[in-house]
Amino acid sequence: MAEVFLRRLTRWQAEQQREAIADLYLMAYREPPGAAPPPGPAADAGAVAHATPVGAPSAGAGLPDAVVPGPGPAGGGLAETVRPGGAWDREAAERARAGAARHGRRAFLDRFAEHVGQPEFGMIIASTPTLVGFAYGFQADRARVWHPGFQTGIPPEIDELTYSRTVFSLAELCVLPAHRRQRITTRLVDQLLTRATGPLATATVDATNPPAQHAFASWGWSRTGALLPAASLPDAAREPEREAWSRRLGR
């Protein structure tokens, strides 16, 4: 197995590599969430984080389009879904189509173009030297990161901690399937947070993705709460239920 090296990119370098980063994103999301066995205490979950701030297109991974893996964009055309008895399930097909759009190349590049211009944008890539993974994030107001809010309100201790300070949003985290369970994801997150400022790092995770939840818990993150739906969309087009996970930075 080739050695994997981590490197921090400047904003300009990240913009120059956007096409290669988009290629990796598409490959990382080809596996449906939960397909891999739950990672162990020190293991990795591959594509686990995804953020979607206010103003960004409704994208996959949902954390604020942010840390929520969903159906992958690959697999050719959209297959028809059949209910028991042979009836075509239009609603399920529409959900699959919406998921594919959220994780498509154009949607990712649109989000990336918006994210890379955010305050204190930071990005770490993993390579062998071929690109095998990446993580990036930025500073943002909590209202933007947790838009449109928590189902039961912001926990009091988090409310006090972030009331007048920005948080670091872990917006995207992807590792190719062939390179998972090698602590690459863990290293990417740790390295990204070394320069993060503010009292808290936060990410949005698909509530139906146990491997991602297990991974964040093993990294010392805590579930902050369930988020409200990101947009008023028909049921078939809605993103998966989202959870906010947080880690105190003490800065």
Which CATH number belongs to the domain containing residue 65 in this structure? 3.40.630.30
Q: Cα 184–121–114 angle (5° rounding)?
A: 105
**Does residue 176 have a pLDDT over 80?**
yes
Amino acid of residue 113: A
**What's the pLDDT tens digit per position in 7-24?**
999 999 999 999 999 999
Q: Is residue 80 part of a domain?
A: no
> Within its chain, how far is the Cα of 52 from the centroid?
9
- Full domain range(s) for residue 230: 5-32+42-73+90-248
Spatial separation of the C-alpha atoms in residues 14 and 116, rounded to whole Å: 8
Q: Is residue 84 part of a domain?
A: no
Q: Is residue 22 part of a domain?
A: yes
- The answer for 181, left when phi > 0, alpha when psi is -120 to 50, beta otherwise, is left
**What's the pLDDT tens digit per position in 160-172?**
999 999 999 999 9
Residue with tokens 């949005």: 204
Nearest C-alpha neighbor of 217 from the set 196, 198, 203: 203
> Within its chain, how far is the Cα of 183 from the centroid?
17
Q: Is residue 78 part of a domain?
A: no
- Pick from 108-122, 124-138, 140-154: least confident: 140-154
User: What is the pLDDT confidence band of residue 229, given thresholds at 50, 70 and 90?
Assistant: confident
Q: Is residue 148 part of a domain?
A: yes
Domain count, the chain: 1
SS3 223: strand
Q: Is residue 241 part of a domain?
A: yes
Q: Is residue 79 part of a domain?
A: no
Average pLDDT over residues 35-40: 42
Q: Is residue 59 part of a domain?
A: yes
